[in-house]
A = this chain, B = another copy of it.
């Protein structure tokens, strides 16, 4: 089975971590193909030939391409044997999907915005401006081009940053902090390679 599944991912966290954790918990062997998000490898021709959307994570299973991390998680759950990752009762399954939507649309984009604003953006902006412009021009989806331009050049508005800070604060107030412990289960797979950027962000926010 190992030769059959390949996961294309950045750090083993956030969106990349979602299908990866599901594969690990299901006991599905897979090839790990690291895509350096900060070198914009996800928009280079060799990766676009695999996933034309230019997003990570993506996964191949035989000759099938899967992308969009939450939909990928449901695919892994349904396509492979192993321990069930979803509860049985339809109302509990509805609740899982409600939380996934909350994470995907409400909480995680705010974490990402703060991460880019505080420490990823400034690092990336220190690079050659021409190289950055070329990297942005290469992005296939216009809305992703806009999103990346804002992230790279730090163009988030005061209102956007305030709303993101409010959401993260609201999440912490509710006691949320399961991220690092969960993500740490992936470390043996990726020891010495991942930069722990977003894991660091979780810790930084918890320490704030």
Interface presence of A83 (CB below 8 A):
no
**Nearest neighbor of A157 in chain B, beta-carbon distance:** B157
Contact A94 B70 (CB under 8 A): no
Q: How far is the CA of A101 from the CA of B105 in the complex (A)?
A: 10
* Chain A residues touching B, majority SS: helix
Given the contacts A105-B105, A143-B163, A163-B143, A97 and B68 also touching, CB distance less than 8 Å: yes
**Chain A, 78-126, CB within 8 A of any chain B CB:** 78-79, 90-91, 93-94, 97-98, 101, 105-106
Count of chain A residues with Cβ under 8 Å from any Cβ of B?
27
| A contacts, CB < 8 Å to B | 61, 64, 66-68, 70-72, 74-75, 78-79, 90-91, 93-94, 97-98, 101, 105-106, 142-143, 146, 163, 166-167
> Can you list 14 A-B contacts (CB < 8 A)?
A64-B91, A66-B91, A66-B94, A70-B101, A71-B94, A71-B101, A74-B93, A74-B97, A75-B90, A79-B91, A105-B105, A142-B166, A143-B163, A146-B163
